[in-house]
């Protein structure tokens, strides 16, 4: 990937994709992953708080 296009999507987001994670309360961290809260609303969370189903490896 060319270095000129890397992170282009993040530059277009508000705050360049950074903010305070609503789950762990870390500040100025990238919020890239979707997660649902108790009310069923979709929220953006950090890498540490992402849903565990994404982390599972495929077994052959």
Number of domains in the chain: 1
**Per-residue pLDDT tens for 2-47?**
677 777 888 888 888 899 999 999 999 999 889 988 898 999 999 9
Whether 17 and 29 have beta carbons less than 8 Å apart is answered as no
Q: Given this model, what pLDDT does residue 41 score? A: 92
Closest CA to 44 of 34, 36, 52, 53: 34
How far CA 40 is from CA of 4, 6, 59, in Å, comes to 37, 32, 30
Residues spanned by the domain of 24: 18-54
- Answer whether residue 8 is part of any domain: no
Rounded to an integer, what distance in angstroms lies between the CA atom of residue 42 and that of residue 59? Answer: 29
Q: Is residue 40 part of a domain?
A: yes
pTM comes to: 0.69
For residue 10, being part of any structural domain is answered with: no
> What DSSP character marks residue 46?
-
Q: Is residue 35 part of a domain?
A: yes
């Amino acid at each position: 990937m060319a270095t000129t296009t890397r992170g282009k999507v993040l530059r277009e987001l508000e705050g360049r994709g950074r903010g305070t994670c609503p789950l762990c309360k870390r500040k100025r961290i990238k919020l890239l992953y979707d997660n649902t809260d108790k009310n069923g609303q979709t929220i953006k969370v950090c890498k540490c708080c992402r849903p565990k189903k994404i982390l599972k490896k495929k077994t052959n």
